[in-house]
Amino acid sequence: MTSTNLKIVIDGSAGSAAPYEQLRAQIADRARSGKLPAGFKLPTVRGLAEELGLAANTVAKAYRALEADGVIETRGRNGTFVAAAEGASREAAAAAQAYAERAHRLGLTQAEASAAATEALRARYAAK
């Protein structure tokens, strides 16, 4: 299944990631690389679902995850757009600050907290 204007490809074969995760990852990668520039208007949930042959709930789930990550933003009836890159950076910085505060409260040393974060990142990015 392929989206013509976004060039999204959903692999339906056994062992591939869930369709919403494939959609989320591809939109996020394109937004971060600049292939989808800030302000680019994304198709409606229903429109993209039809184009890809997916359930509307699958596309909505991907859009919700992307919005939570600061990659896209919904402007009410005006539609859904790729957010400015700074939004994702701000979100990551806030998450890192919250992690640092939590690790400190748990009594971890800076080296222990850094090692835990590095291992979590390594595991997450290796899972792609």
pLDDT-based confidence at residue 63 (cuts at 50, 70, 90): very high
**3-class SS at 2?**
strand
Q: Which two tokens stand for residue 64?
A: 């919700």
DSSP label at residue 35: S
Q: Is residue 73 left, alpha or beta, with left meaning phi > 0 and alpha meaning psi from -120 to 50? A: beta
Q: What average pLDDT does this structure show over 85-105?
A: 80
For residue range 96-122, what is the model confidence (pLDDT) as tens digits?
A: 878 998 999 999 999 999 999 999 999
pLDDT-based confidence at residue 84 (cuts at 50, 70, 90): confident
